[in-house]
Amino acid sequence: MKTEYFKIIKKIKNVDIKSIDLVWFLLFPILNINYIVAANIVESGKNIELGFDRLIPFESIFIIPYIYWYIFITIGLIYILYKSRSEYIKVFIAITIGMSCCYVIYYIFPTQIIRPVVDKSNILNKLVNIIYLKDKPFNCFPSIHVLNTYFIMRYTKFEYNKKYFYYTQTVGVLIILSTVFIKQHFVLDIIASIILCEEIIFLINKIKSESLNKILDLPLRIKNRFDKNNEITY
């Protein structure tokens, strides 16, 4: 009976800790300030289109996986957290470093894509035009869409769940392809993102687990200190 009680308590504590781990999601709006700034300080950028890019047709159907990216990343991160806290902090460190590298490049090497004129004859085309309106055609290299997608694909392990792994890899590939089929990115943007991801993963694998645990437990330590300072003494 005692053993079962302690198991239940341990599970509750693990749920509480993992809930606190979600605080790392706050990094996204902070990092994305740079995207807004970088897009608004440039008036033009370098065109890095290849001949192969011109062979890729515009396909508005790919707006579906492109928009689904937001859900894909959120679900992916929560799933990785559910399966492994250590992998979760690795992917968050990877995303933070990767996005920071992208923003530095956007500031010093702005790029620009010339988008096609898309009619509003159907709902998919209308969605593409909304994306075009909201997202300026600057700062494509490397692609953050590809970067974060690739990290989720790489940190989702086959041994966690076979079906979910196949879902991640399949949808991830569709999202990556969507960036060129709706003319949001060039082929070089995809290549640069994947190379950057692999380099970052290589570096993160060199970090000792003790150091990763210290970073991972930072929000919990802050919470515990805050709770301690706010204890009421009778």
pLDDT of residue 229: 58
- The first and second tokens of residue 101, run together, are 């590298």
Q: What is the pTM of this model?
A: 0.85
Looking at residue 108, its pLDDT comes to 94
Instruction: Render pLDDT for 135-159 as a digit per residue (tens, 0 to 9).
Output: 999 989 999 999 999 999 999 999 9
Q: Where are the alpha helices (DSSP H) in 41-186?
A: 51-55, 63-83, 85-108, 123-134, 144-155, 162-181
The pLDDT tens digits of the residues spanning 3-31 come to 443 343 344 344 455 777 888 888 888 98
What are the residues whose beta carbons fall under 8 Å from the beta carbon of 111, sequence distance 6 or more? 45, 46, 47, 48, 138, 139, 140, 141, 186, 189
Measured distance CA(219)–CA(222) in Å, rounded: 5
Confidence (pLDDT) at 27: 85
